[in-house]
A = this chain, B = another copy of it.
Amino acid sequence: MSSQPEHPALLIPGPIEFDDDVLQSMSHFSESHVGPGFVATFGDTLSMLRKLFQTTSPSSQPFIISGSGTLGWDLVAANLAEPGENVLVLSTGYFGDGFADCFRVYGANVDQLTAPVGSRPQLPEIEAALKSKKYKVITVTHVDTSTGVLSELQKLSELVKSVSPETLLIVDGVCSVACEEIAFDAWNIDGVVTASQKAIGCPAGLSISMFSGKAIDTFKARKSPPASYFASIKNWLPIMQNYEAKKPSYFATPSPQLIHALHTALTQILAKPLSERFAKHKEVSDRIKKAVTDLGLKQVASNPDDQAHGMTAIYLPETIKATDILPRLAKNGIIWAGGIHKEIAPKYVRFGHMGVSVTDPSRTDIDRAIDALKGGLAECGYQKA
């Protein structure tokens, strides 16, 4: 039984519904950001991220910085690429385009491989691009929140390592970390940037990332200084290393309350094997996708292999607009999101199924959402063709 007041179930692709204990941690009494109690909490939280990302390499480096998930792009673009260097951005929607824009601000030469809406760039074209010039960084959006397209990381990493081993592989994991598997070490990933408010299940306000030793070494070998001040790895690296060693340190004031909430969320996640968590998200996602198909609806992500397991982007029947269906869901206590991909925005809706709505057996959010979709479509006069 939740101690939260009654409210609609927030089933958008982030922020998600939060656990009571996580929300309670947000109300933690005020502590000094350099006092021993909070320093220990922050240090433990950084160490827990290593487990979440499945990295045991001591040279891997976690970062937790106050900001939106978007700040992770700056952390990559202002530190790992230098002005004039080449960057290859694999784009599967709105967020790939944003990452590319961010690189351009900091002076990189950006090439984008943009797949048609609902699909992802394929390995042969990525291979051809990697062979065409020397790229400092390649980025991939693990799950693009605008389309629900899932990218495959392991084979991509194998390709990068075989064709262009010096290139850093950076993953935008905002909509994937803690619901899609990411084996940071085993898959030779150089960086993952994410945010607190999606599958990690902590309120928004934290940029969370993990970089490999190779990425940090690449940063240290820069010829030019970092191109950002607040998003400078130079400014944050000693701070993160000190906190994890339980030593107070200061560059900019962190948010003790958000860090406490993240500590609670990570403690809950790591209390069970991660494999169970990923399997549960897949199982629930499969059930949702089946219900969508049974209704005669199509997903934006057309190929089942490319479909995310923490969200589903659903094309509406041609006669029904997002502005018809979303209020009907809301009336039944279910909040979904509209489309944000500019080519198809009014034609589809997005259903987020991450975190406690999926893993907490006492919650009925998912079934109620499917029922509300069925009821809403019927109210709009839709019948399966």
Residues of A whose CB lies within 8 Å of any CB of B are 4-5, 7, 10, 12, 14-18, 23-24, 26-35, 65-71, 73-74, 77-78, 101-102, 105-106, 195, 197, 203-205, 225-232, 250-258, 335, 337, 340
Contact = CB atoms under 8 A, between A and B. Distances in A.
A24 B73 CA distance: 32
- Which secondary structure dominates where chain A touches chain B? loop
Most buried by B among A24, A32, A253, A256: A253
A238 B335 CA distance: 25
B253 A14 contact: yes
Contacts of A251: 70
Contact of A29 (B5, B197, B255): B5
Given A105-B225, A105-B227, A229-B106, A253 B195 contact: yes
B226 A32 contact: no
B254 A204 contact: yes
A256 B10 CA distance: 13
Nearest to A72: B230
A86 B255 CA distance: 34
Given A10-B32, A23-B29, A74-B229, 14 more contacts: A10-B31, A14-B253, A18-B30, A23-B28, A66-B66, A66-B68, A67-B71, A68-B230, A68-B253, A70-B253, A105-B227, A203-B256, A228-B230, A250-B340
A4 B231 CA distance: 34
A32 B15 CA distance: 7
Which has the most chain B C-beta neighbours within 10 Å: A4, A77, A205, A230? A230
A18 B226 CA distance: 36
Contact of A229 (B16, B69, B101, B195): B101
- Of listed A27, A227, A258, residue having the most chain B CB within 10 A: A27
